[in-house]
């Protein structure tokens, strides 16, 4: 069956739900049709031996299933499974919201977070009860006292969890479970974008690893566990090749650090309630907990230190050197594609801007650093994102939206500020010290921003009609002029008027008049055979 577009998928899914509501006995048809809908949405073929789908749609639907399971008694396993499903949805939203600017990601993550946190205290109590049963001796007074206390707390937390579950908006969650997976499909699983995101998570987790080994505090190891968990979920859901190789190691490390945290919480709780009959009892419990904790920390160090450290293994399969910049550029391009109403125009402008930059650099009129060339291309790709909000003064809106971004790995806040300034002056008023964004730059940065904005303004004018008619430009110096020959350019058109106005800023920067003319392609004569 041919793959359906997003609109077709929605129609098919709606038809399935309508048939289900009108005909409760359609079990066989529904069983056949529903996997087809899901396979079309996920982009996978449906076979009898296909593995269960994992991904955003799977985990969002799993949340609803686990809500039903947990709501009856709030037993340990359903509560744990519900928190896992919620955490995975939040983690995937956390990754996708840096690419897709839709506010639905943030709203979904917030809703999942509220329910997740409301179940946290209950889950902690249940885990501590399990540890007491494992480590305590039968009928000893400390275990009995702790289990009695934890049982009372569990009943209290179940009441609070039930209230939180009633407040959870199931209808809104169902809407998100239909809409957001379709948006997520725009990013190819296993792409450089997700490898770049995984590298960010690796960098964050590795820094937490260094901090934990340096100060060895309970808080530091707990944060390290969260950092590794965030890396694991990105790999598991978006990098199938790495997941196949890393999954068992990531799970082992997460479990080790999770148990360290559980033991720390148990000891803190036992101290707070003074559950010990005497000093000897207190010493014995402390020794048992410390032995279990030390064994897990030792195992973690064994896996994560030395020349065969898993940190090195994972890092070797993530972007290196120039690949980091290329992946960051891909992320920026993808982010812009969700907002820009005419992505083809922006990419065409980026190509023309690079040609102009290369021509100026070849003549020695511009610094040909690859970093500046990449900055110009990025500005061209994002210069029209403001059109998603408003047509009027969209260049100013674009600038503000770019400044609000979190710099991707390989970029700095200073880079984003430069990018925003270039996009700000790709049209409208010329750069001036009265402009706040321009005034905050250093003199050398001002010169760079003005040059790149001038090139972008000029390139954008060549495609003012968004038809790609001007498909290439060539530069040369001639008689004190800067001669620009443009293939497909016609001076007596609206494009000609826009180009004439847009070249002014570049003339100021170059301190040369610019002459634009059509590039005439040589006519090839055909040899006739007689």
How would DSSP label each residue in 415-465? HHHHHHHHHHTSSSSPP-TTSHHHHTS-HHHHHHHHHHHHHHHHHHHHTTT
Asked whether residue 43 falls in the same domain as residue 80, the answer is no
Q: What is the CA angle 451-455-461, rounded to 5?
A: 145
How distant, in Å, are the alpha carbons of 380, 428, 472, 510, 515 from that of 423?
7, 11, 22, 20, 25
Spatial CB neighbours of 240, under 8 Å, sequence gap ≥ 6: 189, 190
Cα(501)–Cα(427) distance, rounded to whole angstroms?
10
Name the nearest CA neighbour of 97 among 108, 81, 86: 108
How distant, in Å, are the alpha carbons of 42, 244, 335 from that of 186?
11, 23, 11
CB 131 within 8 A of CB 266: yes
Most distant CA atoms of the chain, gap in Å: 115
At 3 the pLDDT is 41
Radius of gyration of the chain (CA): 30
pLDDT lower than 50: segments of the chain: 1-53, 528-530
Cα(518)–Cα(530) distance, rounded to whole angstroms?
36
Asked whether residue 124 falls in the same domain as residue 210, the answer is no
Place of tokens 């957001």: 180
Cα(507)–Cα(429) distance, rounded to whole angstroms?
15
Cα(116)–Cα(123) distance, rounded to whole angstroms?
10
At 143 the pLDDT is 82
CB 257 within 8 A of CB 205: no
Place of tokens 């992946």: 327
DSSP for 187-218, please give it: S-TT-HHHHHHHHHHHHHHHHHHHHHHHH--H
The answer to whether residue 105 sits within a structural domain is yes
Phi then psi for residue 289, to 5 deg, are: -65, -40
The answer to whether residue 499 sits within a structural domain is no
The answer to whether residue 475 sits within a structural domain is no
Asked whether residue 232 falls in the same domain as residue 266, the answer is yes
The answer to whether residue 430 sits within a structural domain is yes
Q: At 416, which CATH number?
A: 1.10.3210.10
Measured in residues, the chain has a length of 530
Q: How many other C-beta atoms are found inside a 10 Å radius of the C-beta of residue 467? A: 12
Classify residue 411 by burial, with Cβ atoms within 10 Å: 0-12, 13-18, 19+.
buried
Asked whether residue 284 falls in the same domain as residue 334, the answer is no
Name the nearest CA neighbour of 395 among 385, 403, 404, 405: 385
Q: What is the CA angle 41-42-45, rounded to 5?
A: 100
Spatial CB neighbours of 76, under 8 Å, sequence gap ≥ 6: 123, 126, 127, 130
Per-residue pLDDT reduced to its tens digit, 321-363: 989 989 999 889 999 999 999 999 999 999 999 999 999 999 9
Q: Which two tokens stand for residue 453?
A: 């904005």
Q: Which of 187, 216, 232 is the last residue of a domain?
A: 187
Cα(274)–Cα(287) distance, rounded to whole angstroms?
16
What DSSP state is assigned to residue 514? E
Asked whether residue 340 falls in the same domain as residue 463, the answer is yes
- Using DSSP's 3-state secondary structure scheme, residue 275 falls into coil
Ranges of beta strands (E only) in 54-164 are: none
Spatial CB neighbours of 374, under 8 Å, sequence gap ≥ 6: 325, 329
Place of tokens 């059109």: 387
The answer to whether residue 155 sits within a structural domain is yes
Asked whether residue 311 falls in the same domain as residue 342, the answer is no
Cα(6)–Cα(14) distance, rounded to whole angstroms?
12
What DSSP state is assigned to residue 53? P
Asked whether residue 410 falls in the same domain as residue 398, the answer is yes
Asked whether residue 331 falls in the same domain as residue 280, the answer is no
DSSP for 458-511, please give it: HHHHHTTTSS----EEEEEEETTEEEEEEET--SSSHHHHHHHHHHHHHHHHHT
Could you give the number of structural domains in the chain?
A: 4
The answer to whether residue 477 sits within a structural domain is no
pTM here is 0.78
Q: Which two tokens stand for residue 139?
A: 């009928």
Asked whether residue 79 falls in the same domain as residue 126, the answer is yes
Domain of residue 31, residue span: 1-49
Name the nearest CA neighbour of 161 among 79, 80, 86: 79
Asked whether residue 265 falls in the same domain as residue 156, the answer is no
CB 379 within 8 A of CB 406: no
CB 167 within 8 A of CB 119: no
The answer to whether residue 518 sits within a structural domain is no
Q: Which of 172, 187, 202 is the last residue of a domain?
A: 187
Asked whether residue 297 falls in the same domain as residue 329, the answer is no
Asked whether residue 123 falls in the same domain as residue 79, the answer is yes
The answer to whether residue 356 sits within a structural domain is yes
Per-residue pLDDT reduced to its tens digit, 365-387: 888 899 999 999 999 999 999 99
Q: Which of 440, 468, 496 is the last residue of a domain?
A: 468
At 441 the pLDDT is 82
Cα(97)–Cα(184) distance, rounded to whole angstroms?
10
Phi then psi for residue 31, to 5 deg, are: -65, -30
């Amino acid at each position: 069956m041919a793959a359906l577009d997003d609109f077709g998928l929605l129609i098919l899914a709606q038809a399935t739900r309508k048939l289900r509501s009108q005909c409760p006995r359609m079990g066989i048809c529904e069983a056949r049709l529903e996997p087809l809908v899901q396979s079309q949405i996920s982009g996978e073929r449906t076979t009898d031996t296909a593995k269960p789908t994992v991904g955003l749609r799977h985990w969002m639907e799993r949340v609803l299933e686990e809500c039903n399971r947990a709501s009856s008694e709030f037993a340990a396993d359903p509560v744990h499974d519900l928190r896992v499903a919620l955490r995975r949805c939040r983690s995937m939203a956390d990754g996708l919201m840096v690419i897709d600017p839709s506010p639905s990601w943030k709203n979904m993550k917030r809703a999942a977070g509220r329910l997740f946190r409301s179940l946290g205290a209950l889950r902690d109590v249940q885990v501590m009860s399990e540890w007491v049963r494992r480590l305590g001796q039968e009928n000893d007074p400390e275990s009995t006292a702790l289990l009695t206390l934890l049982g009372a707390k569990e009943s209290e937390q179940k009441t609070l969890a039930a209230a939180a579950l009633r407040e959870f908006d199931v209808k809104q969650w169902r809407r998100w479970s239909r809409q957001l997976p379709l948006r997520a499909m725009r990013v190819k699983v296993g792409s450089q974008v997700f490898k770049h995101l995984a590298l960010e998570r690796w960098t964050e987790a590795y820094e937490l690893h260094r901090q934990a080994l340096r100060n060895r505090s309970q808080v530091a190891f707990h944060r390290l566990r969260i950092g590794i968990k965030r890396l694991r979920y990105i790999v598991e859901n978006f990098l199938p090749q790495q997941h196949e190789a890393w999954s068992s190691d990531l799970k082992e490390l997460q479990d080790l650090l999770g148990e360290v945290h559980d033991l720390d919480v148990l000891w803190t709780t036992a101290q707070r309630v003074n559950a010990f009959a005497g000093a000897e009892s207190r010493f014995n419990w402390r020794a048992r907990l410390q032995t279990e904790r030390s064994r897990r920390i030792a195992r973690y160090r064994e896996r994560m230190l030395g020349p065969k450290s898993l940190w090195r293994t994972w890092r070797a399969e993530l972007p290196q050197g120039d690949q980091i910049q290329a992946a960051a550029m891909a992320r920026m391009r993808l982010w812009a594609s969700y907002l820009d109403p005419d992505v083809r125009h922006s990419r065409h402008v980026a190509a023309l801007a690079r040609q102009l930059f290369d021509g100026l650099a070849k003549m020695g009129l511009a610094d040909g650093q690859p970093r500046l060339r990449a900055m110009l291309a990025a500005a061209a790709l994002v210069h029209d994102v403001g059109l998603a909000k408003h047509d009027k003064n969209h260049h100013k809106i674009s600038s503000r939206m770019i400044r609000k971004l979190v710099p991707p790995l390989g970029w700095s806040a200073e880079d984003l500020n430069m990018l925003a300034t270039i996009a700000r002056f790709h049209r409208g008023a010329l750069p001036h010290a009265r402009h706040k964004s321009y005034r905050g730059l250093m003199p050398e940065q001002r010169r760079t921003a003005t040059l790149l904005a001038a090139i972008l303004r000029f390139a954008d004018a060549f495609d003012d009609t968004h038809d790609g008619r001007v498909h290439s430009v060539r530069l040369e110096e001639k008689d004190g002029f800067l001669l620009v020959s443009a293939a497909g350019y016609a001076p007596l058109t609206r494009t000609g008027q826009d180009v004439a106005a847009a070249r002014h800023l570049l003339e100021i920067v170059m301190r040369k008049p610019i002459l634009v003319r059509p590039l005439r392609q040589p006519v090839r004569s055909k040899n006739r055979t007689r």
